[in-house]
Amino acid sequence: MRVRSILSVSIVVFFGLLTLAGYFIPFKPLVDLGGGLLYIAVFLSSIALLVGVINLSRIHLRKAARGGPGGGYSMVLFASLWVTFLVVFFAIVQRKDVITIWIVRNIQLPLEASLSALVVFALLVGGVRLLYRRRDAVAFFFLGAALIVLFAAIPLPSLLEEWLKGPDYYRQMLASVFLSVASGGGRGILLGMALGAAATGLRILMGSDRPYGR
């Protein structure tokens, strides 16, 4: 078992460093090798996706067969998944994109739009609950910023808009303060995340972090 572990770490570190070298060193064979390795990885990833989909349908088929709560939904998922797969497969074979476009436009997009609408409600309820759960300065700042953004998105009556329009100097100053604070905070978060992402990748390349079995 230990030999297997050493072998898997060696493979990850060797091919990881080889692919990374392709990014840094502008040497054509190395760049091509890195591209080729990525191509293989993408191919394996699509096989893994197929395995995942088969596993998902197996789970839902079992749930539907058991007939417990939500079993009906599992049956709908199983049937719609494979019917869509077959229909799209034959559409591709016969080079008829019309069916695929119809499925995306009339089934997938409306479903995704409904889910997006639900997100709005979840955020609204979450925002209201926030005042009950956490009554600290950060929560009030967060809600204040959210309200400012929301109010800014509302089209104002022309009279009110005229009244709000001050001299350009003040407006520019306010905009610059808000933009500086917002973009500064955003960049700070991004900087930290970039460092975190780099460290995560380096741990894998150093062989100390192994999310592929130990």
> Looking at the chain, how many residues does it have?
214
CB atoms within 10 A of CB 83: 11
CA nearest neighbour of 71 among 82, 63, 62, 79: 63
- Counting residues that bind another protein (by CB under 8 A) gives 64
Phi–psi pair at 157, nearest 5 degrees: -60, 145
Q: Which residue, 96 or 129, is less far from another protein as judged by CB? A: 129
**Is residue 47 a contact point for another protein (CB under 8 A)?**
yes
With H, G, I as helix, E, B as strand and everything else as coil, classify residue 157. Answer: coil
Query: Among the candidate windows 84-92, 95-103, 115-123, 165-173, which touches another protein by CB under 8 A?
Result: 115-123
**Is residue 16 a contact point for another protein (CB under 8 A)?**
no
**Is residue 186 a contact point for another protein (CB under 8 A)?**
yes
Q: Which of 94, 116, 154, 162 binds another protein (CB under 8 A)?
A: 116
Q: 60 and 77 in contact (C-beta within 8 Å)? A: yes
CB atoms within 10 A of CB 53: 13
Contact residues for another protein, defined by CB under 8 A: 23-24, 38, 41-42, 44-53, 55-56, 58-59, 63, 69-70, 73, 111-112, 115-116, 118-119, 122-123, 125-127, 129-130, 133-134, 142, 146, 186, 188-189, 191-193, 195-206, 208-209, 211-214
